[in-house]
């Protein structure tokens, strides 16, 4: 792994993106680690200047630096440009989406002691973008599942579990209905599981998984899912720990990684200093882990926990009255 100063591609994105990105940069800088930030525009905000939501220089920058911190980018529903996230993941082959979901002190939630990790396949499934009109009134959307992608995401989940002393991987599926596609996914997971005798393995149907999660998320450790199930289940899990403002994420490939919060661009609160920056700050901590800066990553997480425990400087979504900039300064002061 490279040594500091680390050159990191910075994609502020749309809506609250620039606000939470300024917050994350402030806190990461407070760790004392030297960064060189290479700012790139992507998303709706890039279209005016570059004519595309994902200019080629963004991809080139991430390819060169191998690490990026990204804010949310807007995607029009039903029409318009393809999601920048989907495009980035596919173009850079960021095949593993990692979303740790942990209860944090002082955050209102019906659930306590949640400590699970969602590992989602990021490159295929119904997100392959292969849709067409068969005849007027009938459309087809293709679900692509391959042995290669299923095997490498399963291996990622088991390697991650081993490296982070996780005990059990549960592969989530609907192979009772999609016997071929989800059946292949499960076959690959089973084969990989046999290579990791130290990590327990189980399987669960996706609808039952959702119910079991809502009843008792504390019983889950690592969830291994295809792309669509992973997308839905990870947002469900975000709800256990205080919502979208709290959950970090990472998209990891063999040659690069993009770190971003689970939440979107929140146009309803953009530009008002109301956004909770914790999700992107914790994504920055995941980036520090990835860079091998474990001590700094832990300091960032500790500073976040301290501000939440103290409960005096909280944003509106956490029941407080503080703005983005105030909570950011409180966290940065504790790093
Ligand atoms: P959203 O996550 O932007 O907002 C959902 C709700 O959560 C809103 O009420 C918003 O105010 C609130 N919220 C989200 N993040 C927050 C934060 N940090 N602090 C406080 N409140 C927060 O989801 P929505 O409305 O479905 O999507 C808006 C746009 O974001 C869409 O264009 C969508 O495509 C895009 N999006 C982008 C993502 C990405 O780039 N990774 C992920 C999800 C959505």
Ligand 1: centre distance to CA 266 (Å)? 4
Closest atom, ligand 1, to C-alpha of 43: 40
Active site residue 167: no
Residue identifier of the C-alpha nearest atom 41 of ligand 1: 72
pLDDT of residue 295: 96
Residues 113 and 235 in one domain: yes
Q: Is 159 a catalytic residue?
A: no
Nearest CA to ligand 1 atom 26: 264
Active site residue 231: yes
What is the reported pLDDT for 262?
86
Residue 234 falls in which region: left (phi positive, over 0), alpha (psi -120 to 50) or beta:
alpha
- Domain identity same for 130 and 192: yes
Answer whether 226's CB lies under 8 Å from 121's CB.
yes
In the set 148, 179, 202, 207, the catalytic residue is 207
164 and 262 fall within a common domain: no
Going by C-alpha positions, the residue among 91, 85, 23, 82 that lies closest to residue 259 is 85
Q: Compute how many other C-beta atoms are within 10 angstroms of the C-beta atom of residue 110.
A: 8
In a domain, 80, yes or no: yes
Same domain assignment for residues 56 and 163? no
Q: Looking at residue 153, which CATH number applies to its domain?
A: 3.40.718.10
Residues contacting 186, CB < 8 A, separation 6+: 171, 173, 175, 203
The tokens for 94 are: 């960021």
Write down which residue in 198, 224, 241 finishes a domain. 241
Answer yes or no: is 167 within a domain.
yes
Q: Express each pLDDT in 147-156 by its tens digit.
A: 999 999 999 9
Name the stretches of the chain with pLDDT < 70: 1-2, 77-81
Write down the pLDDT at residue 4: 81
* Omega of the bond leading into 265 within 30 degrees of 0 (cis): no
- Please list, in sequence order, all residues whose beta carbon lies within 8 angstroms of the beta carbon of residue 223, skipping any fewer than 6 positions away: 116, 117, 118, 119, 169, 170, 172, 209, 230, 233, 237
178 and 128 share one domain: yes
Last residue of a domain, one of 202, 217, 241: 241
Rounded Cα distance between 288 and 214, Å, is 31
> Strand, coil or helix: what is 289?
helix
pLDDT value for 119: 98
How many folded domains does the chain comprise? Answer: 2
154 shares its domain with 249: no
Distance CA 283, CA 287 (A): 6
Residue nearest to atom 11 of ligand 1 (CA): 266
Query: Which range marks the domain in which residue 291 is found?
Result: 1-98+243-335
Q: Are residues 39 and 163 in the same domain?
A: no
Protein residue whose Cα sits closest to atom 22 of ligand 1: 245
Per annotation, catalytic residue among 6, 14, 125, 127: 127
pLDDT in tens, 182-235: 999 999 999 999 999 999 999 999 999 999 999 999 999 999 999 999 999 999
Q: Is residue 103 part of a domain?
A: no
> Which of 209, 241, 273 is the last residue in one of the domains?
241
Contacts of 91 (CB under 8 A, 6+ apart): 54, 59
Place of tokens 């792309």: 227
């Amino acid at each position: 792994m490279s040594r500091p100063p680390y050159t990191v591609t910075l994609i502020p994105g749309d809506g609250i993106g620039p606000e939470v990105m300024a917050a994350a940069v402030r806190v990461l800088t407070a760790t004392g680690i030297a960064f060189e930030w290479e700012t790139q525009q992507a998303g709706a905000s890039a279209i005016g200047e570059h004519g595309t939501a994902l200019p080629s220089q963004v991809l080139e920058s991430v390819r060169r630096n191998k690490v990026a911190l990204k804010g949310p980018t807007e995607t029009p529903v039903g029409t318009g440009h393809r999601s920048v996230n989907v495009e980035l993941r596919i173009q850079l082959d960021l095949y593993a989406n990692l979303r740790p979901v942990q209860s944090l002190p002082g955050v209102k939630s019906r659930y306590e002691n949640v400590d699970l990790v969602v590992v989602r396949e990021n490159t295929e499934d119904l997100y392959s973008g292969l849709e067409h009109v068969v005849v007027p009134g009938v459309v087809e959307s293709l679900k692509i599942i391959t042995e290669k992608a299923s095997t490498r995401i399963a291996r990622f989940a088991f390697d991650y579990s081993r490296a982070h002393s996780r005990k059990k991987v549960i592969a989530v599926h609907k192979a009772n209905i999609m016997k071929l596609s989800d059946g292949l996914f499960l076959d690959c997971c089973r084969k990989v599981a046999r290579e990791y005798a130290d990590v327990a393995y189980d399987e669960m149907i996706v609808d039952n998984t959702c119910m079991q999660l809502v009843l008792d998320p504390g019983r889950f450790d690592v969830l291994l899912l295809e792309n669509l199930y992973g997308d839905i289940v990870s947002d469900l899990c975000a709800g256990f720990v205080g919502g979208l403002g709290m959950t970090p994420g990472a998209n990891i490939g063999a040659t690069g990684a993009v770190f971003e919060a689970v939440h979107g661009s929140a146009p309803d609160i953009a530009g008002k200093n109301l956004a909770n920056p914790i999700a992107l700050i914790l994504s920055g901590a995941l980036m520090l882990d990835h860079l091998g800066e474990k001590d700094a990553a832990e300091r960032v997480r500790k500073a976040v926990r301290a501000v939440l425990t103290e409960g005096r400087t909280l944003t509106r979504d956490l029941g407080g009255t503080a703005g983005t900039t105030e909570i950011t300064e409180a966290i940065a002061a504790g790093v």
